Amino acid sequence: MSGTLLSFCLMAVGARELSGEIHTSQVMLFRSVLGLLVVCSILLFTQNNRGFLTKRIGLHCLRNTFHFAGQYGWLLGITVLPLAEVFALEFTVPLWTAMIAWLFLGESITARKFAAIGLGLAGVLVILKPGVEVFNWYSLIVLAAAFCYAISHASTKSLSNTESPLTILFYMCLIQLPIGFLFALNNWTAPVGMQWFWLAVVGLTALSAHFCMTKAMQYAEVSTVVILDFLRLPAIGMVGALVYGESVEVSLFVGALIMLIGNLLIILKPQRNPQKMSGGDAPS
């Protein structure tokens, strides 16, 4: 999780350093090119030729169209909003994912999940403070990006039943590369100097963040991972304050904490009472 936190913070800094110089779509293109090179190298080195094959190309296309839109909105938000606000709004992803899984994947919806979604929306209202000041449309873009991420996550959950993680990453880069190329055609700027470095930072940290998060979930309970992931907010808030002189409002942390509680309501499952088993005895 330390690797995950570092990766996300470095990716945000890289995107901010490129803002105004390299268009977001071009950043997405370089991210896909670098990711494709890395994943292909791993598959070829391990002689895992089956990693290139899939029978669910349609779902891969759906997943990566929404993932591209989510990543685009996230990177766009990084360039114009305080870093901490972007990360806070991103914490709505598990809540949207639960709703989508209920509507389209047939997962059950419980009172706990309804309460979690309600808390998530309440947290968003605390952060955005509608009616208090001029509404920031870029905040809505980041919120829409979180919803796109949720669709991507729900698709990933379905794909993970039949596809390996490397296969999912391979098709992510392969499908998003031409999309990024088409968007970048009218906004092309030849990178120079340190811009190459920051493009490499964004591309590599995008992969390392996913890898570290996956490994963390293999070694720890999901609830622990989510709580540690919440540390991204104060971490990026500190980066924004120290590097870019951004101010962090108390309402942002309050709203994010409300959303964290909502996320934990979804993830934490009530313990079964062994006394309710037949005979009233716990199993030996």
Burial (0-12, 13-18, 19+ Cβ within 10 Å), 227: middle
List, for residues 226-284, the tens digit of each pLDDT value.
677 777 878 888 888 888 888 877 887 888 888 888 877 777 766 555 454 444 433 33
What is the model's pTM?
A: 0.80
pLDDT value of residue 281: 39
List, for residues 48-89, the tens digit of each pLDDT value.
888 898 989 999 999 999 999 999 999 999 988 888 888 888
pLDDT value of residue 64: 93
Report which of residues 2 and 160 the model is more confident about: 2
What 3-state class would DSSP assign to 19?
Answer: coil
> What is the CA 3 to chain-centroid distance, rounded?
15
Q: How far apart are CA 208 and CA 87, in angstroms?
A: 18
Sign of CA dihedral 32, 38, 41, 45: negative
Report which of residues 184 and 233 the model is more confident about: 184
